[in-house]
Amino acid sequence: MKKSLVTLMVACIAAGAPVAGYAGSTAKPENVEAAPASADVMTIRVKVPLFSPLFAEFPVATVNDEPITVNDLNASLETVHEGMAEGTQAPRRNFTDILNRIITSKLIIQEGRNIGLDQQEQPKEMIDTFSRKLLREMVLKDHVKDMRPDPKEVEKRYGQLNVEWTFSTLIFKDEADAKKARKALDNGTSFDDLMAAEVKEKRAEAKQNEKLRYEHIHPDIVKIIDSLKPGSVGPVIDMQKGAMLFRLDAVKHSDDPRLKEKAEKEVLTAARFKALEKYRSDLIEKHLKQDKKLIKSLDFEKDKAAFTKFLEDKRPLATIKGEKPVTVADLAEAIRMKFYHGVDMAIDQKKVNKAKDSLLFEILATRAIEKEGRDKGFDKKKEYLDKVADYQDSVIFGHFVEKVIRPDVKVTEDELKAYYEAHKSEYSYPIMVVLDGIAFNDQNAAQSAAEKLRQGMDFKWFKENAEGHVDAKAAGVIQFEDVPVTLKTLPEGLNKVITGAQTGEYRVYSDPNGFNYVILVRNVIPEQVQPFPEVEAAIRKNVQSEQLNKLIVEWADKLRKASDVKIFAEF
């Protein structure tokens, strides 16, 4: 990670001295009280590069003897630095505010543990689920971390991604006509002559110079195209309605580094997926002993009334050394969860037994991967322990807020209306317009038409009869509908042209497609404040959020007064 120019001024304790504080500058961060320096404590000041791994575990503060490290501060600052230009610093106030937030979190998390929130069933389940998922992810990630894409497969995929085919195509309404046409080609008729004849007789529609890329074509048709040379005609392709006959006119490959990179990523992803599927099967064989006879005998569709008995069936389907077995009940529960809309319906539709094997595989693979992770010590790695600890803290903090603080949030009708009055500008319908327009190829023609309309020419008549106007249904022409639209939904250029216009005004707009428009602003609907009942729910949410944040600060202040908080850093 790059080094930041930002440094922390940290009070570092001399060898053997107890942690008490720092001496020196009298300047203190706003809202952060530095630990007082005792007269008999020797301290030194050290400049610490914020992103240096050498100082990652160095404490910048303690909360009831629990340290807040440079690494903790760094992690909280990462989101600030992500949005900043190279070489720039975060504003000074960010360090102080972020440290204060970390201290607040620590105080609330500690209080949550003190009252036993971490021992309640829901937080324990959440933490257990996260921990197991993280363990599996680490095992699988480690297995494929050194894989590299096969160069031959990359070149093959790159060739597919960078190719552009050009076609001439006949689309027939009747498959029989397509087959007759194919025979005519076999008998020596040229494709161009055939195309002209079939179109003339209205047996087919023709498309010429049609350029398509690999991702636009069905894989089965790609196989046919790959077998053809430019100038060759493919077989009759059956379609849902009718049939198709095409000639491959040209094949073009482009050199695009971005597509090469995409090919490498896709090939590597596919290879990793394949390797992980095999790895999961191998781990099942390694760690579990399956009762295949019992597995094969299970029929969850034989008797709908008996399914509840499967949910209590403790017969082991697979055993794991040193751990609890996978039981029939485990598989039945997975079935119940998959068909949560109703197992009875799934049984009637004969879906349950079909899903049995895949669901069991996922259960066994999950258990096998977790077993492998524990055997290899992934659950002892610092990365794992840190992530679990962070998640555990977030769960405890969240539960403290929901169980202890949120019940005290009380919002009155008067508070909601006061908020509404103070924030009316945030709860308004935007300006809307109803537009109509006439398209021209020539900008001068559009300007001239605008002048005529401003002088009183009837718009409706002129739209149909103006000299040089483009058919409103032509490809690429903007379609104007008689409905209000917000300015932000308009193309950027049109938005600028229309902004500030009044009802009945004419404006001229040139779009990127080369068309020039006379725009009639039929109606301007001004911005309107939304009625209170329409926004009451959103306002209630905002007011509750404000109150909750205020209560969190009050709780933090109360806990801080009763706690031992020391700050060792100046910013």
Segment 139-143 shows an average pLDDT of 98
pLDDT on residue 3: 40
Higher pLDDT pick, 16 / 148: 148
Confidence of residue 474 (pLDDT cuts 50, 70, 90): confident
Say yes or no to pLDDT of 22 above 80: no
The answer as to CATH 3.10.50.40 being correct for domain 154-255 is yes
What is the spatial distance between Cα 405 and Cα 138, in angstroms, rounded to a whole number? Answer: 36
Express each pLDDT in 341-378 by its tens digit. Answer: 899 999 999 999 999 999 999 999 999 999 999 999 99
What is the spatial distance between Cα 168 and Cα 482, in angstroms, rounded to a whole number? Answer: 39
Which class for 86: exposed (0-12), middle (13-18), buried (19 or more C-beta within 10 A)?
A: exposed
Express each pLDDT in 87-98 by its tens digit. Answer: 555 555 578 889
pTM confidence score:
0.72
pLDDT on residue 82: 54
CA-CA-CA-CA torsion sign (458, 461, 464, 468): negative
Listed range (203-217, 258-272, 366-380) with the worst mean pLDDT: 203-217
Say yes or no to pLDDT of 19 above 50: no
Q: 479-482 long-range CB contacts below 8 Å, 24 or more apart?
A: 480/435, 480/436, 480/437, 482/434, 482/436, 482/522
Residue ranges per structural domain of the chain = 58-85+94-115+530-570, 154-255, 262-376, 428-528
Higher pLDDT pick, 8 / 312: 312
Say yes or no to pLDDT of 2 above 70: no
Nearest partner of 106 among 389, 379, 381, judged by Cα: 389
Express each pLDDT in 36-53 by its tens digit. Answer: 555 566 778 888 888 888
Those residues whose C-beta lies under 8 Å from the C-beta of residue 287, and which sit 6 or more positions away, are 320, 321, 367, 368, 371, 372
For all residues of the chain together, what is the average pLDDT?
Answer: 89
Those residues whose C-beta lies under 8 Å from the C-beta of residue 86, and which sit 6 or more positions away, are none
What is the spatial distance between Cα 215 and Cα 218, in angstroms, rounded to a whole number? Answer: 8
CA distances from 245 to 207, 211, 249 (A): 11, 16, 13
pLDDT on residue 94: 76
Which class for 219: exposed (0-12), middle (13-18), buried (19 or more C-beta within 10 A)?
A: exposed
At the topology level, CATH places domain 428-528 in Chitinase A; domain 3 (3.10.50)
Domains 154-255 and 428-528 are alike in CATH topology: yes
Structure letter (DSSP) for residue 167: E
What is the spatial distance between Cα 447 and Cα 519, in angstroms, rounded to a whole number? Answer: 11
Structure letter (DSSP) for residue 278: H
Confidence of residue 18 (pLDDT cuts 50, 70, 90): very low
